[in-house]
Chains A and B, each alone.
Chain A
């Protein structure tokens, strides 16, 4: 049976780089010609919708209609790689609902494998919260991403390694946050106004993160 990965990028905290990870993953998938469909439940920002309006469905997960826009659309569309940018606000509802409606079984029967990309937050319990998510068995695979500025606490239960997201300077962050800045174009060699040092910094950042994303995506079966 053909399979496709559904990547759920989430965290239990706001403003820790979750949407940047979803964005980098999307850029990778587009460059790898995986043609991902995007679900932007990244309240209050819609970082994916703003950049890829043609392939993004905005989701208000607090409303039943939004829940239908996500789950029903996934199950009714032809098998296709997907990225869900899920805000901390909607995480608990997402998990409860996915269990209540038996989304895992239904998605698997259609060929989807759910992959968790959990961005660890600054609170001590954040990694444990991610491990609890992984333990629910909703996800076939789980990965923990730790922003470099957030230190380990020693409270981790699993020995699963973490992917470190290097810290970017404020200047580069502001540049790449601009709606017109495309990581994909940067990777194709278009510097888009970055000076030499900024470009070098971003190169180093992308080498680390895109390398990790490459490892994650390569583990999935080839997808339609």
Chain B
């Protein structure tokens, strides 16, 4: 099976990149698909806090760290490599990967590649779509609209909405559904994967003391986001489900 590289990013901050990365890793784990992750939020590493065993914090500007990701895709003993790009790093990463031939290798099918572009509702965030478009030709490109904080995406202003969503060529679009604020905050405080929170497991593996109601909110949210992920060609190919015609 060809290795799979997933980039999760956005140039604008606070759009929910790490939340989506966490949800995606959780989803893969529940499908018994092993993954490793690189967190480019150097040196802090938010993703690493939730997945310390499989996450490494790297500096994408460091060539040795780029090699850690790209030169080990084949040799890593897990099929999926996920890179959570820190805010402002998306264009840089794509530019770098284009220059060193990574994107071309992906286009030629040497490995599976998916870019998950997480966008918030601001114009600045939406403008990124046009900037990223020049890199994504021939690649699996997913636009993820983040509703986790109950944002809206200019549906009320059809002109603006069409400009960004109606006329932009992209492969697929998913929505990150809203998660109750208190539930989100408690998972964050616990520093555990969403799945462990629903199973009432603390970070050290001992039984947690999490609210049943909040666990229920997270479980429901996970079911909703799973329905979104399941539509993706990326997930369908990893789980050997024949991609749908759409």
* Interface, chain A (partner B; CB < 8 A): 64-65, 67-68, 71-72, 75, 97, 100-103, 106
A123 nearest CB across to chain B (Å) = 30
Instruction: Please indicate the chain B residues that have their CB under 8 angstroms from the CB of A101 in the complex.
Output: 212-213, 215-217, 219-220
Q: How far is the CA of A72 from the CA of B182 in the complex (A)?
A: 15
Q: How far is the CA of A68 from the CA of B180 in the complex (A)?
A: 13
Sample (27) of A-B pairs whose CB atoms are under 8 Å apart: A64-B180, A64-B182, A64-B213, A64-B214, A64-B217, A67-B213, A68-B212, A68-B213, A68-B214, A71-B212, A71-B213, A71-B216, A72-B211, A72-B213, A75-B212, A100-B217, A100-B219, A100-B220, A101-B215, A101-B216, A101-B217, A101-B219, A101-B220, A102-B216, A102-B219, A103-B212, A103-B216
Q: How far is the CA of A19 from the CA of B141 in the complex (A)?
A: 56
Q: Which residue of B lies closest to A74 (CB)?
A: B212
Q: How far is the CA of A72 from the CA of B209 in the complex (A)?
A: 11
Q: How far is the CA of A25 from the CA of B211 in the complex (A)?
A: 29
Q: 7 additional contacts, CB 8 Å, given A72-B213, A100-B217, A106-B212? A: A64-B183, A64-B214, A100-B216, A100-B220, A101-B215, A102-B216, A103-B212
B222 nearest CB across to chain A (Å) = 11
Instruction: Please indicate the chain B residues that have their CB under 8 angstroms from the CB of A102 in the complex.
Output: 216, 219
B165 nearest CB across to chain A (Å) = 29
Residue among B182, B183, B211, B217 with most chain A CB within 10 A: B211
A104 nearest CB across to chain B (Å) = 12
Instruction: Please indicate the chain A residues that have their CB under 8 angstroms from the CB of B219 in the complex.
Output: 100-102
Within 8 A of A (CB), among B185-228: 211-217, 219-220
A160 nearest CB across to chain B (Å) = 30
A189 nearest CB across to chain B (Å) = 43
A97/B214 in contact, CB under 8 A? no
Q: How far is the CA of A106 from the CA of B180 in the complex (A)?
A: 21
Instruction: Please indicate the chain B residues that have their CB under 8 angstroms from the CB of A71 in the complex.
Output: 212-213, 216
